[in-house]
């Protein structure tokens, strides 16, 4: 489902309306999640055939997504500064997310932003140059041609959007693998260990690369780990109170540009509650740092093609 180039202002208005509708139904959703039904059936949601909401097991009325095939989402983080258009700046984070509902598993492939790749109509360049050259649609085409994966959806946020999302969920609890302080990016120092990051710290972790093992590869791996940490935290909150889903959806809609409809966001939110974080594989690509002319770039290893091919089959990298 591709974006039709909807004006950003119209999309913000639409998102605000969708959020208002979602928040207005908090009480009914809470009731629905705890209501015991005697029958079985499927709710008509207006979603496409690949994303349908229906009854879960045991007679308890719990909507869940059913898909006949894996879905793929391109997750992007823009490095837009204040006053810059988010979809015209470089993509600082690029992640391919595959979800297999039947297997209750998912995978995240982390693509370094400096990867030297062909950009349709523009020759070779760093992959993060695709968005300034042609917006989200050219970025989607570029990653599709690199991976052979056709995306069902995309999600795009910015530096400020990431900070707002992390602060909006009350901080992100995760294990920081090593002490991080990258003064070139101006972020606060972060000590190693399990801790709850605020928005500023989460942004610093997602951006740091100059003093991170593996450089650009280490940075993108940390970004993928943050996605899985957010899933783990969401699942814990959902288990305590299913109505928490709507708070997370509200945070998402305020800070992410996406072509997912509200129905589809809700379906994915239910799916996220049922795919154990331990069953989500974070896959950083391999390669080497080098130069193209005067540009410092990343050359992906030939083995990356096998990683992409593995995900294309069932949305999962590794054993099925």
- Please give the Cα distance from 236 to 204 (Å, whole number): 25
Domain boundaries, the chain: 8-167+246-314
Whether residue 149 contacts residue 140, with contact meaning beta carbons closer than 8 Å, is answered with: no
Which segments in the chain show pLDDT lower than 50?
1, 3-6, 9-65
Whether residue 113 contacts residue 220, with contact meaning beta carbons closer than 8 Å, is answered with: yes
Residue 268: what pLDDT?
87
Encode pLDDT of 132-172 as tens digits.
999 999 999 999 999 999 999 999 999 999 999 999 999 99
Residue 283: what pLDDT?
96
Residue 81: what pLDDT?
87
- In terms of CATH architecture, what is 8-167+246-314? 2-Layer Sandwich (3.30)
3-state secondary structure the chain: CCCCCCCHHHHHHHHHHHHHHHHHCHHHHHHHHHCECCCCCEECCCCCCCCEEECCHHHECCCEEECCCCEEEEEEEECCCCCCCHHHCCEEEEEEEEEECCCCEEEEEECCCCEEEEECCCEEEEHHHHHHHHHHHHHHHHHHHHHCCCCCEEEEEEHHHHHHHHHHCCCEEEEECCCECCHHHCCCCECCEEEEECHHHHHHHHHCCCCCCCCHHHHHHHHHHHHHHHHHHHHHHHHHCCCHHHHHHHHHHHHCEECCCHHHHHHHHHHHHHCCHHHEEEEECCEEEEEECCEEEEEECCCHHHHHHHHHHHCCCCCC
Encode pLDDT of 46-92 as tens digits.
333 344 443 333 434 344 445 668 999 999 999 998 889 999 999 99
């Amino acid at each position: 489902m591709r974006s039709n180039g909807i004006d950003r202002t119209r999309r913000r208005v639409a998102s605000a309306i969708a959020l208002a509708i979602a928040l207005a139904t908090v009480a009914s959703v809470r009731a629905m999640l705890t209501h015991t039904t005697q029958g079985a059936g499927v709710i008509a949601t207006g979603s496409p055939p690949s994303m349908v909401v229906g009854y879960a097991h045991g007679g308890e009325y719990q909507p869940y997504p059913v898909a006949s095939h894996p879905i793929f989402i391109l997750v992007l983080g823009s490095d837009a500064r204040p006053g810059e258009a988010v979809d015209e700046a470089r993509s600082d984070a690029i992640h391919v997310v595959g979800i297999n509902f039947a297997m209750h598993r998912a995978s995240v492939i982390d693509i370094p932003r400096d990867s030297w790749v062909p950009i349709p109509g523009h020759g070779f360049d760093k992959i993060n140059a695709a968005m300034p050259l042609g917006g989200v649609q050219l970025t989607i085409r570029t990653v599709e041609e690199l991976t052979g994966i056709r995306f069902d959806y995309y999600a795009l946020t910015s530096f400020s959007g990431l900070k707002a999302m992390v602060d909006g969920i009350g901080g992100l609890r995760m294990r920081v693998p090593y002490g991080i302080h990258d003064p070139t990016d101006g972020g606060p120092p972060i000590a190693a260990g399990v801790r709850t990051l605020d928005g500023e710290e989460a942004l610093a972790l997602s951006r740091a690369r100059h003093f991170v093992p593996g450089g650009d590869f280490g940075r993108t791996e940390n970004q993928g780990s943050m996605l899985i940490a957010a899933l783990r935290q969401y699942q814990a909150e959902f288990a305590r109170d299913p109505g928490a889903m709507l708070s997370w959806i509200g945070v998402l809609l305020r800070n992410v540009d996406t072509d997912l409809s509200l129905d589809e966001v809700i379906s994915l939110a239910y799916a996220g509650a049922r795919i154990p974080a331990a069953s989500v594989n974070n896959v950083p690509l391999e390669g080497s740092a080098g130069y193209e002319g005067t540009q410092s770039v990343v050359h992906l290893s030939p083995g990356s093609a096998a990683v992409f091919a593995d995900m294309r089959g069932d949305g999962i990298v590794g054993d099925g």
